[in-house]
């Protein structure tokens, strides 16, 4: 957290802003954005993973509400979507992102994030960053003040310190620590019983804890992605995460990798992802989706094209169910330059939604599954 942007100020900003906003997750009357909407050919729109319309960190706005309000007030689109995800990064209730994110196998919270600014053609990311609650802001600094696109681990932390961010010893909350302790208790105390079995054993224990309702299924590989477009057609996006719960220390997922967990091209649109990051890194799926948008596919068809690619490339029996289909999920949030959008996944289902905010207010819309529904 920067010294000039601490948690209290973020809350206060959100609360004050919410007083002025006329949009709400309740579907309240839209604020007067008609002028902004009519200026260009694009319809101002913000989309995010489902948590983008759930968590408020004690304030009045969700991620998509804040980002949409800021965009229609004229803010830079990247500043707006990052301000949106900051709410979720700071909220201790979301155990998939930022403060209180589920830690790695050693109990250390490590965070990944990247962001892309469509019109400026700038991008920045941080991976395996420890001690900074809002890694998306550090990713934005990487884009703005360095010649690089990705900083990792200690170097990323040193960079953050030099940029004025507060570095904390531990980003665990009581809840994330208790869940880690339970996972640790259930796995071999030496943790690497047989190297070839370790990843699978840890994953099975984690999935059992999901099945028991101890962990939100969306928080096991949890993440937030948020993408926005303004009336001028400026497209920006950000993805931020604590990554896979109880990962091998040093594991980096798709979220900070340009083209994997996020891709933005101002000429076409934006795509970002939550779910099994390894599938996105292997297939560079967000990049593929944006290329499909460029070819003229709709957001839904572009997302489905990437999901089909993932299915085709998933042949390891360990990753297949008895029906021969992937035994994991990947979600995509796709926004084209006009403001059209879609949420798609390998598996949909009644509780799988993505967040959208337009002049109609914030909504949670169903995610469509390529392979049908699965709980």
* 102/357 with CB nearer ligand GLY: 102
Q: At what angle are helices 195-211 and 174-186 packed, to 10 degrees?
A: 130
Q: List, by residue number, the catalytic residues.
A: 223
Q: Minimum Å distance from CB 282 to ligand GLY?
A: 12
Q: Minimum Å distance from CB 213 to ligand GLY?
A: 21
Q: Which of 131, 90, 111, 89 minimizes the C-alpha distance to 7?
A: 90
| 237 neighbors 95 (Cβ within 8 angstroms) | no
DSSP assigned state of 149: S
Site for ligand GLY in 193-212 (CB under 6 A): none
The distance between the two most distant Cα atoms of the chain, rounded to a whole number of Å, is: 63
From the CB of residue 233, how many other CB atoms can be counted at a distance below 10 Å? Answer: 21
Span near ligand GLY by CB under 6 A; candidates 4-12, 18-26, 270-278, 285-293? 270-278
* 62/241 with CB nearer ligand GLY: 241
Q: Among 113, 227, 274, 364, indicate the residue that binds ligand GLY (CB under 6 A).
A: 274
Sheet holding 45-49, edge to edge: 150-152, 122-129, 111-117, 235-241, 224-229, 45-49, 353-358, 361-366
Site for ligand GLY in 219-258 (CB under 6 A): 221, 223, 241, 243-244, 253-255
* 81/260 with CB nearer ligand GLY: 260
Site for ligand GLY in 275-334 (CB under 6 A): 275-277
Q: Minimum Å distance from CB 250 to ligand GLY?
A: 13
Asked if 95 interacts with ligand GLY (CB under 6 A), we say no
DSSP assigned state of 101: -
* 87/111 with CB nearer ligand GLY: 111
Site for ligand GLY in 34-63 (CB under 6 A): none
Q: Which of 255, 370, 217, 374 minimizes the C-alpha distance to 306?
A: 370
259 phi/psi in degrees, rounded to 5: 95, -20
| Binding footprint of ligand GLY on the chain (CB under 6 A) | 221, 223, 241, 243-244, 253-255, 261, 274-277
């Amino acid at each position: 957290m920067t010294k000039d942007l601490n948690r209290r100020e973020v809350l206060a900003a959100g609360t004050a802003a919410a007083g002025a906003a006329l949009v709400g997750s309740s579907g309240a009357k839209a604020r007067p954005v008609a002028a902004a909407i009519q200026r260009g050919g694009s319809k101002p729109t913000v989309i995010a993973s489902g948590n983008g319309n759930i968590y408020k960190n004690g304030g009045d706005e969700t991620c998509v509400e804040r980002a949409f309000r800021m965009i229609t007030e004229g803010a830079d689109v990247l500043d707006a979507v990052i301000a949106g995800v900051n709410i979720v990064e700071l909220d201790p209730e979301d155990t998939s992102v930022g403060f209180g994110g589920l830690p790695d196998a050693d109990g250390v919270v490590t965070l990944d994030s990247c962001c892309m600014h469509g019109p400026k053609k700038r991008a920045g990311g941080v991976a395996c960053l420890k001690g900074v609650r809002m890694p998306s802001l550090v990713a934005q600094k990487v884009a703005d003040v360095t010649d690089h696109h990705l900083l990792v681990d200690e170097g990323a932390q040193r960079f953050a310190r030099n940029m004025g961010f507060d570095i904390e010893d531990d980003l665990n909350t009581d809840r994330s620590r208790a869940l880690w302790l339970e996972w640790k208790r259930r796995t071999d105390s030496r943790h690497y019983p047989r190297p070839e079995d370790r990843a699978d054993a840890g994953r099975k224990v984690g999935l059992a804890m999901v099945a028991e309702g101890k962990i939100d299924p969306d928080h096991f590989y949890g993440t937030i992605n948020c993408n926005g477009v303004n009336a001028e057609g400026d497209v920006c996006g950000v993805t931020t995460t604590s990554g896979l719960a109880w990962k091998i220390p040093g594991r980096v997922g798709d979220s900070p990798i340009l083209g994997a967990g996020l891709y933005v091209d101002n000429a076409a649109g934006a795509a970002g992802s939550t779910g099994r990051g390894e599938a996105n890194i292997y297939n560079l799926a967000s990049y593929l989706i944006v290329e499909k948008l460029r070819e003229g596919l709709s957001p839904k068809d572009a997302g489905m094209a990437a999901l089909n690619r993932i299915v085709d490339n998933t042949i390891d029996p360990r990753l297949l169910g008895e029906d021969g289909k992937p035994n994991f999920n990947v979600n995509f949030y796709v926004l084209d330059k006009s403001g059209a959008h879609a949420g798609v996944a390998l598996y949909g289902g009644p509780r799988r939604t993505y967040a959208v905010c337009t002049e109609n207010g914030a909504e949670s819309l169903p995610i469509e599954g390529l392979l049908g529904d699965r709980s």
